Amino acid sequence: MKTIYLDNNATTRVAPEVYEAMAPYFTEDYFNPSSMYEPARQTSQALGAARKGVADRLGGIDPREVIFTGCASESNNAAIFGAARGNPERRHIITTSVEHPAVIEVCRELEREGYKVTWLGVDRDGNLNVREFIQALSPATLMVSIMHANNETGVVFPIDQLSRIAKQTDPSIIFHTDATQTVGKLPIDLVSGLPYVDMLSFSGHKLHAPKGVGVLFLRKGTRVRPYLFGGHQAEGRRAGTENVPYIIGISKALELATERMDEDEARVGKLRDRLEAGLMERIPAAQVNGKGAERLPNTLNIAFHYIEGEGMLFQLSGLGICASSGSACTSGSLEPSHVLRAMKVPFTAIHGSLRFSLSRYNTEDEIDYVLEHLPKVVANLRKLSPYWDNEKNAPRADADARLGQTHLK
Ligand code: PLP
């Protein structure tokens, strides 16, 4: 059975061009880039070129502002703990209630240490309220950490506007953004587009590079305390021999994504729209989460009321279709998505929400296959739902009253 992979916000296939670019650095140019002999000098040069490649594709930043890490979670931890440890005189952090756990849990840890954290909420479409953000800024504010786009819904936050406001209010506030879901999908220019962002995190495996490599952009002059000691690498900010093949991989992946972005994202956006329109047309009592917000072109989070996401995923998996409910980090638990809860998505919709996330490797045929099969899966599960009227193929008249919810949009 063919696999139809629609879970690219969880991880992506390594692009063949990336794999090819990495290969020699395992078996031929495997030298430690810090060693003094000639072959190692070449490895070191390749590392430098990869770093410059990443810097160029983030708007032409200084390559020394690029720190390679093991993943976006590490980058987020390094950014937030690093800012806190480097600036102990301030103890207030602003973030949102819809961040990835790699930001939420770091902020909770700092809360336990006595930091004050403002958790900004979102509206029904997943948008932040800029006025609330402005009101949260205070003379004690150490940093802001707000994601660029949400991994579950694809909702994009106005990071350019928020970072400008923060810096204009107080230039010493450090602004961090988790751009794991946007790098490679949206243009990122840290020189002219996002000049007020001090730190930005992302990960290779969301943009067709392997798992195990990430980036932390750290703007020159930003005061952070290093978190890995014991080596001179990355100018002492992250000790440890560089993972050369993977760094070559992430640089190549970013090069490819940037070069093909206009074409790929337009095509992916059309496929996503086809999937969204087709499902909404074929399935009653469905809603798109984040519909009214600016969203990543590849992401569709859609709720089918009165059934369980897990049941759908299981049946889809039997048909070769890979999707998810919630984020990769929360799936497998029975906890409903914290993102959809923050959006006040009705109870029956949270539990019946699925995320489809596409990539440049998806095809129209794959989307049509989902459109053919998913409506049947939903219909079959609804037959078992006590809230569904099978004759009318609609929710039972008393369904919402029994569930204590009134909204079904
Ligand atoms: N941040 C966001 C927004 C993500 O979507 C993810 C992964 O799903 C991460 C951070 C963590 O990435 P990694 O697996 O590279 O640590």
Mean pLDDT per 10-residue interval, the chain, length 409 residues: 96 98 97 96 97 98 97 98 97 98 98 98 98 98 98 98 98 98 98 98 98 98 91 85 97 98 97 98 97 98 94 97 73 77 91 96 98 97 91 88 62
Residue 195 is part of which domain span? 16-257
Residues 136 and 218 grouped into a single domain: yes
Core vs surface per residue 303-326: b (16+ CB within 10 A) or e: bbbbbbbebbbebbeebebebbbb
Residues 270 and 132 grouped into a single domain: no
Distance 100 CA to ligand 1 centre (A): 7
Of 224, 257, 290, the residue at which a domain comes to its end is: 257
Q: How many residues are given for the chain? A: 409
This prediction has a pTM of 0.96
Counting atoms of ligand 1 from 1, which one is nearest the CA of 150?
3
pLDDT recorded at residue 408: 47
Residues 212 and 291 grouped into a single domain: no
Residues 185 and 98 grouped into a single domain: yes
Pocket of ligand 1 (CB under 6 A): 71-73, 100, 102, 147, 151, 178, 180-181, 203, 214, 327-328
Distance 93 CA to ligand 1 centre (A): 20
Distance 116 CA to ligand 1 centre (A): 24
The structure tokens listed for 403 are 């569930």
pLDDT recorded at residue 239: 86
Of 230, 257, 284, the residue at which a domain comes to its end is: 257
Query: For a substitution probing ligand 1, which of 73, 99, 148, 150 has the most ligand atoms within 8 Å of its CB?
Result: 73
Residues 269 and 376 grouped into a single domain: yes
Number of domains in the chain: 2
| Helices 244-282 and 38-57, packing angle to 10 deg | 30
- Phi and psi at 145, nearest 5°, equal -130, 105
Residues 102 and 178 grouped into a single domain: yes
Of 257, 290, 308, the residue at which a domain comes to its end is: 257
Residues 224 and 267 grouped into a single domain: no
Residues 66 and 82 grouped into a single domain: yes
pLDDT recorded at residue 333: 60
CATH code of 354's domain: 3.90.1150.10
**204: three-class secondary structure by DSSP:** helix
pLDDT recorded at residue 24: 98
pLDDT recorded at residue 329: 45
pLDDT recorded at residue 85: 96
pLDDT recorded at residue 348: 81
